């Protein structure tokens, strides 16, 4: 029982500290408008702090205690100054995270956790910046900001047992933001496609991603892409009489925060920068060129995304000697810590082979170079991956869509079609899906979100064509929210029950996840020698 209380205490302690960092701008800028997005802003600030400080310091107990304490001080100060404004928000967040806490009770993390997530995070808690980490573990070659965020949760009392907490907060804050979008649309009696897309997204996230132990880095990024899509479309759902530069600045800020976190979670998602280009193209008719440039250059959040991009590239470079791994043309093999180009080529082929169904835990195809070329992989991918992973995901999407259409369309009268500005964005989603299928057709590499949006966007527009009774629709929306909670809770109860039967896991007895005595084991053939310690810069020299 002691462990579950310790976990619960640090869970909410860190939550309120993150919220404190999200309120920093309200202290330094009196014109700053607080919003539900401040929760994600708090995460972004902590990721930035983690990247920056690890260049000079290990994230040990002292470092992390100071960081978390500072956030708590800001949270308490802001709460006392704005009690009546903040109490409902804090109440809603506390309720949401109380429900989600069940997902944090786990015996077993995902398969990659002890392979490279946990050891990478441990290294951050024990050492300042180390060059050449990619030589120790293949997983270290594609680092994620979630490792840096998790390293801040290494605290006295909880020790290593909350180093999987980052995904929980991203999941919780995303649910909180979606709930606020739905609530705001309902208050305004705005039954547009934004309302229904938010409902579908919230239901899908809690249905498809309820097991937080399996989130890793990919699902966190995919959840945020749902939010990015909603706010992209919401920004174009404007009323001309309310339109001004401040309107687009508000949405630009939200899109920047989301995109900054997304690319830091997985550098691969830099491909989604095309969404920004399309957004600027679509709003350019409202601005002169100088005004559009000012929108970007005079917004300090622009520099947030720039800093995140620099840190993402810098971390990959210091781990592998490549700016973007495993893109061969970005690698510098002559550096002492660099990954040999032969290995870079092998890993590039391996990632493509794996994502196209040519490899798994128990099998490998012969001649992978031939397999990945000219769509030779399609028939095997359909056999080993489409059935049943992609097909099961499409079944979930279809079921959610049918339930939502039936619930909201039933007994409603049709109204005049309102024109929504979504077609360019939808075309972009289709193009990104084509790119996904041709190059990396694994659901974790974008497929979950892209396939869902292909269904959800037109369904949302279709439902917005109907006239709705406010009170009846409100009841239906709360029914959907209740359904999402029931699905999340029931699937986690089922998981905990299976873990009890298989591993004897009882959260009321021992709530922490399983951790063997060694924590993690590096290859016995690898010896690590550190040089230049006086400069606080450590280069890994690998000797076999």
| Token pair belonging to 301 | 């959040």
pLDDT single digits (tens) 486-497: 999 999 999 999
Percentage of the chain modeled with pLDDT above 90: 65
pLDDT of residue 54: 96
Nearest to 272 by CA among 236, 231, 222: 222
Contact between residue 536 and residue 127 where contact means Cβ atoms under 8 Å apart: no
CA–CA separation, 458 vs 423, rounded Å? 10
CA–CA separation, 266 vs 276, rounded Å? 17
| Token pair belonging to 515 | 């951790």
**Is pLDDT of 526 > 80?**
no
- 301 alpha-carbon distance from chain centroid: 18
Sheet containing 527-531: order of strands: 130-131, 538-543, 527-531
Q: What is the pTM of this model?
A: 0.92
Q: First CA to last CA across the chain, in angstroms?
A: 46
Percentage of the chain modeled with pLDDT above 70: 91
Whether residue 336 is preceded by a cis peptide bond, meaning omega within 30 degrees of 0, is no
Instruction: Tell me which residue has tokens 């082979």.
Output: 353
Instruction: Tell me which residue has tokens 């441990």.
Output: 122
Nearest to 55 by CA among 102, 124, 153: 124
Vertex 529, ends 523 and 530: CA angle to 5°?
Answer: 130
Vertex 448, ends 445 and 451: CA angle to 5°?
Answer: 115
pLDDT single digits (tens) 25-46: 777 766 666 678 889 999 999 9
pLDDT of residue 304: 82
Contact between residue 440 and residue 386 where contact means Cβ atoms under 8 Å apart: no
CA–CA separation, 533 vs 122, rounded Å? 19
CA–CA separation, 249 vs 476, rounded Å? 33
CA–CA separation, 221 vs 269, rounded Å? 8
| Token pair belonging to 132 | 């050449």
pLDDT single digits (tens) 319-364: 999 998 998 999 998 998 999 999 999 999 999 999 999 987 778 8
**Is pLDDT of 289 > 80?**
no
pLDDT single digits (tens) 137-158: 888 999 999 999 999 999 999 9
pLDDT single digits (tens) 233-270: 999 887 665 666 778 888 988 999 999 999 999 888 88
CA–CA separation, 98 vs 92, rounded Å? 10
CA–CA separation, 511 vs 161, rounded Å? 10
pLDDT of residue 34: 66
Most confident residue range from 22-31, 219-228, 510-519: 219-228
CA–CA separation, 159 vs 415, rounded Å? 58
Nearest to 113 by CA among 64, 159, 146: 146
pLDDT single digits (tens) 423-448: 999 999 999 999 999 999 999 999 99
Nearest to 178 by CA among 491, 480, 524: 480
**Is pLDDT of 277 > 90?**
no
Q: Output the furthest CA–CA distance in the chain (Å, rounded).
A: 75
Nearest to 235 by CA among 297, 278, 172: 278
pLDDT of residue 173: 96
Mean pLDDT of 56-61: 95
pLDDT of residue 162: 95
pLDDT of residue 242: 60
- 217 alpha-carbon distance from chain centroid: 7
Mean pLDDT of 197-213: 94
Element of type H or E holding 483: helix 470-503
Contact between residue 193 and residue 460 where contact means Cβ atoms under 8 Å apart: yes
**Is pLDDT of 518 > 90?**
no
Mean pLDDT of 460-468: 90
CA–CA separation, 22 vs 341, rounded Å? 42
pLDDT of residue 86: 81
Q: What is the dihedral of CA 412, 400, 398, 170, to 10 degrees?
A: 130
pLDDT of residue 541: 45
3-state secondary structure of 99: helix
Please, what is the average pLDDT of the chain?
Answer: 88
Whether residue 326 is preceded by a cis peptide bond, meaning omega within 30 degrees of 0, is yes
Vertex 256, ends 254 and 261: CA angle to 5°?
Answer: 100
**Is pLDDT of 519 > 80?**
no
Contact between residue 110 and residue 215 where contact means Cβ atoms under 8 Å apart: yes
Beta strands at 363-364 and 130-131: parallel, antiparallel or unpaired: unpaired
| Contact residues for 410 (Cβ-Cβ < 8 A; gap 6+) | none
**Is pLDDT of 524 > 50?**
no
C-beta atoms surrounding 511 within 10 Å: 21
pLDDT of residue 49: 96
List C-alpha distances in Å: 319 to 15, 77, 216, 242. Answer: 30, 40, 20, 48
């Amino acid at each position: 029982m002691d462990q579950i209380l310790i976990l619960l205490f640090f869970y909410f302690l860190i939550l309120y500290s993150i919220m404190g960092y999200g309120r920093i701008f309200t202290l330094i800028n009196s014109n700053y408008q607080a919003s539900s997005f401040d929760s994600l802003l708090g995460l972004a600030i902590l990721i930035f702090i983690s990247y920056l400080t690890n260049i000079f310091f290990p994230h040990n107990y002292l470092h992390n205690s100071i960081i978390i304490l500072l956030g708590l001080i800001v949270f308490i100060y802001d709460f006392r100054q704005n009690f009546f404004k903040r109490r409902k928000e804090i109440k809603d967040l506390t309720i949401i995270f109380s429900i989600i806490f069940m997902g944090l009770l786990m015996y077993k993390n995902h398969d990659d956790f002890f392979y490279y997530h946990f050891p990478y995070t441990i290294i951050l808690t024990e050492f300042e910046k180390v060059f050449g980490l990619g030589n120790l573990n293949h997983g270290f070659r594609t680092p994620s900001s979630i490792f840096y965020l998790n390293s801040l949760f290494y605290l006295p009392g909880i020790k290593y047992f909350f180093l999987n907490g980052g995904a929980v907060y991203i999941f919780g804050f995303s649910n909180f933001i979606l709930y606020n979008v739905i609530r705001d649309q309902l208050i305004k009696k705005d039954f547009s496609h934004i309302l229904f897309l938010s409902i579908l997204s919230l239901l899908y996230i809690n249905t498809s991603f309820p097991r937080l132990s399996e989130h890793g880095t990919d699902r966190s990024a995919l959840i945020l892409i749902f939010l990015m899509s909603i706010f992209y479309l919401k920004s174009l759902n404007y009323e001309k009489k309310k339109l001004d530069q401040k309107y687009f600045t508000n949405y630009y800020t939200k899109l920047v925060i989301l995109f900054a976190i997304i690319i830091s979670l997985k550098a691969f998602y830099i491909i989604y920068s095309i969404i920004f280009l399309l957004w600027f193209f679509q709003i350019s008719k409202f601005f002169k060129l100088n005004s559009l440039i000012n929108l970007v250059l005079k917004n300090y959040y622009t520099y947030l995304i720039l800093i995140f991009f620099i840190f993402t590239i810098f971390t990959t470079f210091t781990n592998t000697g490549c700016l973007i791994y495993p893109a061969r043309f970005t690698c510098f093999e002559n550096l002492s810590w660099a990954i040999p180009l032969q290995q870079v080529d092998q890993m590039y082929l391996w990632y493509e082979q794996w994502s196209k169904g040519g490899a798994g835990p128990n099998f490998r195809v012969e001649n992978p170079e031939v397999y990945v070329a000219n769509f030779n992989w399609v028939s095997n991918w359909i056999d080993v991956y489409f059935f049943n992973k992609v097909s099961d995901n499409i079944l979930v999407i279809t079921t959610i869509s049918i339930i939502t259409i039936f619930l909201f369309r039933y007994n409603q009268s049709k109204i005049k079609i309102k024109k929504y500005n979504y077609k360019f964005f939808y075309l972009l989603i289709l193009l990104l899906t084509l790119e996904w299928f041709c190059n990396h057709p694994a659901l974790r590499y974008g497929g979950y979100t892209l396939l869902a949006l292909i269904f959800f966007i037109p369904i949302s527009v279709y439902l917005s064509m109907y006239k709705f009774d406010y009170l009846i629709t409100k009841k239906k929306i709360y029914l959907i929210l209740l359904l999402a909670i029931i699905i999340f809770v029931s699937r986690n109860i089922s998981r905990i029950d299976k873990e009890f039967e298989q591993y004897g896991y009882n959260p009321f007895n021992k709530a922490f996840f399983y951790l063997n005595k060694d924590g993690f084991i590096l290859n016995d053939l690898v010896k690590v020698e550190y040089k230049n310690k006086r400069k606080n810069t450590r280069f890994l020299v690998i000797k076999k």
